[in-house]
Structure 1
């Protein structure tokens, strides 16, 4: 009579162990990126950020250069030399300004990240127990039970304590600091490509239609950058496109009117 409950308990324990083993294998397969049809790359988010920054740089190049050349065209409609000079100056100044600003910004970010990593290395060396408790606390905050949080913290610490703390506590990959030169080059190229759209279109031999041709090209360019930025951010496409096109159109209209006013005043 007493052996059946004992056997049932053993079968239940064995079933529980098998379930835990299956869960562990499933978790391992997810962790190592073996889920079929779903790529896992720790650098994917960083690449998307760079791509988004490139799209925004192109957008800035389109709008700012279009504002300059259309404003000059409004002031001196037939002066192609003045339009070309202003457009090239706006392209070069804007591209270098974007690149320089991105270089300074990313350099500051990288210096900050390195300082935080050095601080974390010192704390791991001087206070290993406190750091282990801190890491376990982060995993408890993420919803793990105290025992499992402690186990995860111990195993990650044994594998690579610095990487574990940098990822969870700082959100930094100590093996991959952002390159300021790459950021500067990306901004320079993307701004230049965007700026060439209105500059080339307004210099085409279209006579009095050059402003309208440039404006149409700008609207198409802004439509594309708005759609791409919304797709990368998984935001509503139509709203982003309308916002992008309306702001760019308002910029062109304002600079053209200002150009016309100054052109009349100068003449």
Structure 2
């Protein structure tokens, strides 16, 4: 009788892992695009390796900290909401257990169980862990595995940093004449990979995602390089 919950638990865990992987890929993608746009723009104005390194590091740290702070705030707000919902569920289970049992039975019926089977399953789930059963069915969360905002912040910081390191190293390591070409090719290849990965994690066809990602990154680099070149020519 507990099989539906067992399946949902595994599905929820898989969904959580996929969300984390998708967030990591998107964080790396943001790091690639934003840092590439910055260093390519600066490269349009100067070929000084120290200036490029300084600008790239500043962009990397600012972007990574911004991503981490945003994730921390967002996940903290989500966690506060989940805790409030769980507190309400606990109170309802304590104050009106029979009504909650009927509610759980109705939700199981909506999933295709007959009334008799749903009633028996609801009783067994309630006896085993009433809060977890209701949290899964009503809220779609596991009350014992809430997302940690610090984990989300560090994951965003690290994924953005990993993505940003590619254009930064590509612009400062090669000889001056090779920098722009190496950076552009490296960034476009990386964007193709992140576009493909994000599409596959979302069970979508990767072709359009790759094209969108590559075209968006190419446009960003073209615009910033043109702006940097213009500013360099006028001596700003």
- Which contiguous aligned blocks of 4+ residues in structure 1 show a shift greater than 4 angstroms? 30-33
**Residue 68 of structure 1, CA deviation:** 0.3
**Residue 204 of structure 1, CA deviation:** 1.7
Q: How has the CA–CA distance of structure 1 residues 31 and 124 changed in structure 2, closer, same or farther, with 3 Å as cutoff?
A: closer
C-alpha RMSD of matched pairs (Å): 1.8
**Residue 210 of structure 1, CA deviation:** 0.7
The partner residue of 2:203 within 219, 230, 234 is 234
Deviations 1:4-40 (A, max 9, x none): xxxxxxxxxxxxxxxxxxxx8xx96x9768xxxxxx5
The partner residue of 1:72 within 23, 36, 42 is 42
In 1: Cα distance, 2:111 partner to 2:43 partner:
58
Alignment match, 1:50: 20
Alignment match, 1:244: 213
In 1: Cα distance, 2:233 partner to 2:109 partner:
70
The partner residue of 2:135 within 166, 176, 186 is 166
Matching of residue 152 in structure 1 with residue 121 in structure 2: yes
In 2: Cα distance, 1:188 partner to 1:252 partner:
23
In 2: Cα distance, 1:146 partner to 1:206 partner:
74
Give 1:186-265 correspondences, 5 Å limit: 186-265=155-234
Alignment match, 2:84: 115
In 2: Cα distance, 1:237 partner to 1:48 partner:
16
Deviations 1:24-67 (A, max 9, x none): 8xx96x9768xxxxxx5752221221111111100000000000
Ranges in structure 2 where 5+ consecutive residues have no aligned partner: none
Alignment match, 1:179: 148
In 1: Cα distance, 2:194 partner to 2:182 partner:
18
In 1: Cα distance, 2:56 partner to 2:113 partner:
58
* TM-score, with structure 2 as normaliser: 0.93
Q: How has the CA–CA distance of structure 1 residues 217 and 45 changed in structure 2, closer, same or farther, with 3 Å as cutoff?
A: same
CA contact (8 A) 2:5 2:133 kept: no
**Residue 148 of structure 1, CA deviation:** 2.3
In 2: Cα distance, 1:130 partner to 1:32 partner:
24
Rg (Cα) greater in structure: 1
In 1: Cα distance, 2:78 partner to 2:228 partner:
40
Alignment match, 1:63: 33
**Residue 145 of structure 1, CA deviation:** 2.3
In 2: Cα distance, 1:203 partner to 1:80 partner:
6
Ranges in structure 1 where 5+ consecutive residues have no aligned partner: 1-23, 34-39
Alignment match, 2:53: 84
* Higher alpha-carbon deviation: 184-193 or 144-153: 144-153
